[in-house]
Amino acid sequence: MSFKEQILKIVKEKGPIIPNLIKREVGGDTFLIGAVLSELLEEGSIKISNTKIGNSPTYYQPGHEYKLVNLKKYLNEKDQRTLDILKDKKILRDREQEMLIRVSLRNIKDFAKQLEVNDKGEKEIFWKWYLTPKEEAEKLIRQAITGEIEAEKPKAETKKEPRETRTEKEIKEEKVVQEQKKEESREEVKKEQSRTEEKQETIKQSKEPEDDEFSRKLHKYFDKKEIEVIKETIIRKNSEIELNVIIPSAVGKVEYFCKAKNKKKCNDGDISSAYIKGQMIKLPVLFITTGEVAKKVENMLQNEFKGLVLKQIWKMGTPITDLLISKEIRIEDLKGKTLAVDSYNIIYQFLSSIRQPNGTPLMDSKGRVTSHLIGLFNRITKLMLEEVQFVFVFDGIAPELKKKERERRRKLKLEAQDLYEEAKQKENVEDMKKYASRTSILNKEMIEEAKKLIDALGIPIVDATSEGEAQAAYMVQNQDCYAVLSQDTDSLIFGAPLVIKNLTISGKRKTVNKLTYTNVNPEIISLTDNLNYLGVTKEQLIVIAILAGTDYDIGGVKGIGPKKALALVKKNGEDYDATFEEAKWNEHFDTEWQEVFYLIKKIPINKDYKLEWKDPNKEELIKLLVEEHDFSRERVESTIDKLLKGKPNKQQKSIFDFWD
């Protein structure tokens, strides 16, 4: 029996079944099983369900549709109730159902079959239980439209009173009951809408936002290449992502399936899996990796996998993180310390991660984005209650080497925002999701609102001459602050003695695609400790960063990651000309390496700043958050009162529980 025949036999005997269970039965690679299933689907030998177990659909034999009802337990509670109603009634008239059931009917596609009926020139939608015979369905629909039930022919030997009168009475009573239920349903929907409006700012805010650094870096690469993301699924956090992207080409925009791997070395199995997936969904494949590729893969690209596009992007920003050592700390260790906040980094993180289920940012009743304000107010006030002090540092004028890149990204995000607004007006949810992930742009209004909030909290603001990370690093060097607070390590190459990452009060972060959390503790990275650990100087660390890639030489030198860069620097010592010559810098960049080197080393700094902390301005905070952006007055006032009393509250809930 062939491999294909084995899979078909298992589907016939055990379907509906997911691919992982098939793999347990026959063995083999998952991508190969997927390819066989795709082939069987095209032949019509098997069918695929809309209902999923986890993230996977199930496969079953034609004629075994009756077994699909076993998937009921994998539906949510609302859809299960709708399924039971439809199964009992066999036919449901769409316009007679309450709103929640109408939505649910459109979700349970395996069990609810939509029928469009033309009644006296008017089209009407009915829903049929998927196992109800066609003749029975037609009879029930006629009864629903005419309000009459077809009488059975009386048996010759039995003389009974006609049932028409009783049936008509029952129908009238049933209609009255239905009207009462509909009215009750409408009232319940109104109450639910009212409750939703009251909690508008709380939508999904109680959950710690997902934080995937690889995804953020990948989007930076897409921005640079003007690639549009229309769908994104994180398979493994900071490791593997699947996307559908639109790539501009000479013949117009082309949709690709994209597999992105944050892996030191990709093998033929990685490429094969991506290629098979692309074949299954009939899309060309773009494979992106931050690491090296096995030699065998190069031959495969010329033969087995023609048309697959392979891109090695290496790591964006300053990809030296893999070389660095850090130490976990507790919030208590920061008590009484002052942190210089890389404002754009932190605010952008809030804006991109605190979102509604459809991918859109959280907004107030006037449609203005509030994700950044919610993140700032929640996180910073909680840390202030833990007696941690802040200075917020904002970027100044970007260096010329960075301006072009920033302007390109800005234009792409503005275009995506326009497309999103257009989709929103048309109530096109799919397009809203499509463009939402690309609208995380910090516009001037958002920055000003963030500054208003920070100022109202009594926290000093410093405007950098150029790069915020460099300004924050200088303030730590000058002993005005204890450390830089940022999720990036860019400030290290500007000489920051200490950098703190993962500063979350709850110590938890949501696990991707699960309702569970993983423990995440704050980390501190010491420049001195790392220079000693790597055996390099500050200048050599800058050279390593340039070779591996910074914001001023995106991607760095092709083929040179942080480890190779470290090896080159150690080999050539302080002979930087020799290092860059060996790396063949001039073959990859028009800019001389010295220009990037001295930009980092001598970047302009604002030395004329003043640090003055004040009490929170309760009136300004209420005006900004409550009156302008619909925050809960009671909760805002409660937080402000605690700040003014200066009494930390260790009994409080998780950061984002504030909005429950």
462 phi/psi in degrees, rounded to 5: -120, 125
Low-confidence winner among 163-167, 204-208, 302-306 (lowest mean pLDDT): 204-208
Give residue for tokens 């337990």. Answer: 73
pLDDT at 441: 66
- Burial label for 421, CB within 10 Å (0-12, 13-18, 19+), is middle
Mean pLDDT of 341-360: 78
Low-confidence winner among 281-285, 293-297, 656-660 (lowest mean pLDDT): 656-660
DSSP code for 157: T
The runs of H, that is alpha helices, within 199-304 are 213-225, 268-280, 295-302
DSSP-based three-state secondary structure for 418: helix
Both ends of the chain: CA-CA distance in Å? Answer: 58
- Burial label for 456, CB within 10 Å (0-12, 13-18, 19+), is buried
Exposed e or buried b for every residue in 530-540, given b needs 16+ CB within 10 A? beeebebeeeb
Cβ proximity of 384 and 643 under 8 Å:
yes
| pLDDT tens for each residue of 422-458 | 766 766 655 565 555 455 567 889 999 999 999 999 9
Say yes or no to pLDDT of 212 above 60: yes
* Residue 77 tokens, joined: 């509670």
pLDDT at 143: 86
- Burial label for 463, CB within 10 Å (0-12, 13-18, 19+), is middle
pLDDT at 242: 92
Which is more confidently placed, 598 or 652? 598
Low-confidence winner among 141-145, 426-430, 506-510 (lowest mean pLDDT): 506-510
- Distance between CA 566 and CA 520 in Å, rounded? 29
**How many CB atoms are closer than 10 A to CB 479?**
9
- Distance between CA 53 and CA 46 in Å, rounded? 18
* Residue 531 tokens, joined: 């220079």
| pLDDT tens for each residue of 113-122 | 998 888 777 7
252-261, strands of its sheet edge to edge: 228-236, 240-249, 252-261, 285-289, 309-312
CA atoms within 13 A on the CB side of 531: 17
Give the DSSP letter string of 208-234: PPP--HHHHHHHHHHHHHTPEEEEEEE
